[in-house]
């Protein structure tokens, strides 16, 4: 039974705070960002926050001081702070799975005390981090050798969802900090092409597989890990005894790890109070730790912790995750925004938005509240985006001149990472000039008068007009370091938390992924053996029959 009392909460859209926001939205009408900036010369500096190394500019949002006050009143009425404190205390706020939600404990300092059911979990967290550090150093130094005595040169992480996206994203993000003489690959898809492409050019004698799975029952991961084991043993022409030197596991499920044949001495543990999509700073980050080293990994955890502390203690007016969460709620509820773009101006963050898709959409893609009642307000948005400037030449047209409201986050850095040749360092100003130009154009647009004044033919004026008034957040930092990456991720984790708290949904379960898994198990024998098609619906049965025919069965 949950320690949280959710029954007494008023329906979100029945609260006076919601009604006040609705009225305020009407009054705001089509007020333009041009008007808001004209009315307040300080807006560009006043509507900013600093959190750790992050500079956050929210001046280009369709909000006034009154909007922000009303949004904070909504957060107070829905007791966001109460749920936040319950999370940090280790209460079982994931009510449908009856679990605590304590990813914040993964980055707590060694001397912190965080209890779950009366037990301080911090020593266990640090014991695993120490074990990971010792193992990483052995691989990095070449003293961990494979079955034939060769040092490990290739590290292949096999996992999916939260057991893949985090390490894969962070490896790309921190590539300039990685050991360039080691090869890292990430395999997730049950499509055999993924594993094939990851290993076809590797020497099994120099390859370590990290099997990452919280449950160790995920079909994609277990299937790929089994195929990887076959590839390894065939390539080495060895028996089961070779597995111990080439396979380690990251999991909460020691029994299943053992069943697979991995020595539990080579298992790095985490706990049921770590959700999959919040797990990358747990043992799930082992591949990243090998890549960047334990010290850099610790710097990243400290970056997470810095933002955890900010979220826990900063007053509402200066609380960045609270602000970002509330802005998203504002657009979803009162501007009918259906999606949210995350547009990093850093090629190193090429997988960042994909990572956020799971974080946000698996957390807040819900349509019943904590008590199981259908919600009649917007919940999580569709999160999408790719790095600039590439997106500018693909889909920005729709953001600029389409019919949809798409709030967007622009993320950029003042300095490129160390090691670029001088010409590439110089390119960085051009990258960032594009960044600032885009947020400027989105906010202020170009009026028909301005277009006309350029001598544009009258019939083309509507086509060349930019309506502007598209809201954006700007996130800037000096450089993309491990700490800054940790800060960014924690910022988004807590933003997602705020939204789930206001919407009164359980952001920590994911029942919506289950049905497909169950059905796939039923359909597989129909495809393989051709039996049981009569149990399927008409469309799926026909598709299965067509598939078999095309496969020549
Ligand atoms: O199917 C969804 C999911 O459960 C995610 O929440 C999770 O990150 C992913 O699958 C992988 O799960 P596991 O780490 O248990 O293999």
Per-residue pLDDT reduced to its tens digit, 359-408: 999 999 999 999 999 999 999 999 999 999 999 999 999 999 999 999 99
Q: Does the Cβ of 162 fall within 6 Å of ligand 1?
A: yes
Q: Which of 255, 256, 262, 254 is nearest to 228 (CA)?
A: 262
Tokens 């596991």, located at residue: 249
- How is residue 194 written in tokens? 């993924």
Distance of CA 471 to the CA centre of its chain: 21
Measured by CA distance, the residue closest to atom 4 of ligand 1 is 276
Atom of ligand 1 nearest to the CA of 251: 14
pLDDT at 207: 98
| Letter string b/e over residues 66-82, b meaning 16 or more CB atoms within 10 A of that residue's CB | ebbebbbbbbebbbbbe
Q: Are 185 and 154 in contact (CB under 8 A)?
A: yes
Measured by CA distance, the residue closest to atom 2 of ligand 1 is 513
pLDDT at 8: 60
Beta-bridge partner residues of 249: 211, 267
Q: Are 189 and 180 in contact (CB under 8 A)?
A: no
Q: Are 507 and 497 in contact (CB under 8 A)?
A: yes
Q: Does the Cβ of 167 fall within 6 Å of ligand 1?
A: no
pTM, 2 dp = 0.97
Ligand 1 centroid vs 217 CA: distance in angstroms?
A: 9
Q: Are 374 and 362 in contact (CB under 8 A)?
A: no
Over residues 254-281, the pLDDT tens digits come to 999 999 999 999 999 999 999 999 999 9
Q: Does the Cβ of 249 fall within 6 Å of ligand 1?
A: no
Atom of ligand 1 nearest to the CA of 275: 6
Please, what is the Cα angle at 10 between 7 and 15, to 5 degrees?
170
Give the count of beta carbons closer than 10 Å to the beta carbon of residue 41.
9
Distance of CA 180 to the CA centre of its chain: 25
Q: Which of 276, 287, 496, 517 to mutate to test the pocket of ligand 1 (most atoms within 8 A of CB)?
A: 276
DSSP assigned state of 446: B
Ligand 1 centroid vs 38 CA: distance in angstroms?
A: 49
Q: Are 349 and 387 in contact (CB under 8 A)?
A: yes
How far apart, in whole angstroms, are the C-alpha atoms of residue 530 and residue 514?
A: 24
Q: Which of 96, 166, 214 to mutate to test the pocket of ligand 1 (most atoms within 8 A of CB)?
A: 214
pLDDT at 515: 95
Atom of ligand 1 nearest to the CA of 221: 16
How far apart, in whole angstroms, are the C-alpha atoms of residue 322 and residue 342?
A: 18
Measured by CA distance, the residue closest to atom 1 of ligand 1 is 513
What is the average pLDDT value for the chain, to the nearest integer?
96
Over residues 83-120, the pLDDT tens digits come to 999 999 999 999 999 999 999 999 999 999 999 989 99
């Amino acid at each position: 039974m949950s320690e949280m009392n959710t029954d007494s909460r008023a329906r979100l859209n029945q609260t006076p705070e919601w009604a006040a926001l609705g009225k305020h939205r009407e009054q705001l009408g089509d007020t333009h960002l041009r008007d808001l900036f004209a009315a307040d010369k300080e807006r560009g500096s006043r509507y900013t926050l600093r959190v750790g190394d992050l500079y956050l500019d929210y001046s280009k949002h369709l909000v006034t001081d009154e909007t922000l006050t009303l949004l904070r009143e909504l957060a107070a009425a829905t007791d966001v702070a109460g749920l936040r404190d319950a999370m940090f205390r280790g209460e079982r706020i994931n009510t449908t799975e009856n679990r605590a939600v304590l990813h914040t404990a993964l980055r707590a300092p060694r001397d912190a005390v965080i209890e779950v059911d009366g037990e301080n979990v911090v020593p266990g967290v640090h014991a695993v981090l120490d074990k990971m550090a010792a193992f990483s150093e052995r691989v990095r130094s070449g003293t961990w050798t494979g079955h034939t005595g060769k040092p490990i040169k290739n590290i292949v992480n096999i996992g999916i969802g939260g057991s893949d996206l985090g390490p894969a994203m962070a490896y790309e993000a921190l590539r300039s900090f990685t050991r360039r003489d080691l090869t890292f690959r990430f395999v997730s898809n049950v499509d055999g092409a993924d594993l094939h492409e990851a290993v076809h050019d590797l020497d099994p004698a120099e390859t370590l597989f990290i099997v990452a799975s919280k449950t160790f029952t995920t079909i994609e991961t277990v299937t790929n890990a089994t195929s990887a084991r076959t590839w390894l043993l065939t390539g080495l022409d060895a028996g089961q005894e070779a597995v111990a030197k080439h396979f380690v596991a990251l999991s909460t499920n020691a029994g299943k790890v053992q069943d697979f044949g991995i020595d539990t001495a080579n298992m790095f543990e985490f706990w049921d109070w770590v959700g999959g999509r919040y797990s990358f700073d747990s043992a799930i980050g082992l591949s990243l730790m090998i890549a960047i080293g334990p010290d850099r990994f610790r710097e990243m955890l400290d970056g997470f912790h810095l933002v955890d502390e900010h979220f826990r203690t900063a007053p509402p007016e200066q609380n960045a995750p609270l602000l970002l969460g509330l802005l998203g709620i504002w657009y979803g509820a009162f501007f009918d925004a259906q999606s949210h773009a995350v547009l990093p101006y850093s090629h190193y963050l090429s997988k960042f938005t994909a990572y956020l898709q799971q974080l946000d959409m698996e957390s807040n893609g819900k349509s019943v509240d904590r008590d199981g009642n259908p919600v009649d307000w917007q919940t999580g948005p569709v999160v999408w985006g790719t790095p600039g400037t590439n997106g500018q030449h693909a889909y920005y047209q729709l953001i600029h001149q389409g019919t949809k409201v798409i709030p967007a986050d622009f993320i950029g850095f003042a300095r490129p990472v160390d090691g670029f040749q001088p010409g590439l360092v110089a390119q960085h100003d051009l990258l960032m000039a594009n960044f600032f130009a885009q947020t400027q154009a989105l906010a202020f647009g170009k009026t028909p008068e301005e277009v006309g004044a350029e001598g544009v033919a009258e019939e083309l004026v509507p086509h060349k007009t930019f309506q502007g008034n598209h809201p954006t957040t700007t996130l800037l930092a000096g450089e993309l370091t491990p700490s800054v990456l940790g800060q960014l991720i924690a910022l988004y984790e807590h933003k997602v938390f705020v939204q789930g708290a206001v919407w009164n949904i359980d952001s920590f379960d994911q029942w919506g992924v289950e049905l497909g898994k169950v059905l796939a198990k039923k359909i597989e024998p129909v495809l393989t053996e051709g039996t049981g098609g009569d149990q399927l619906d008409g469309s799926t049965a026909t598709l299965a029959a067509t598939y078999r025919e095309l496969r020549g069965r």
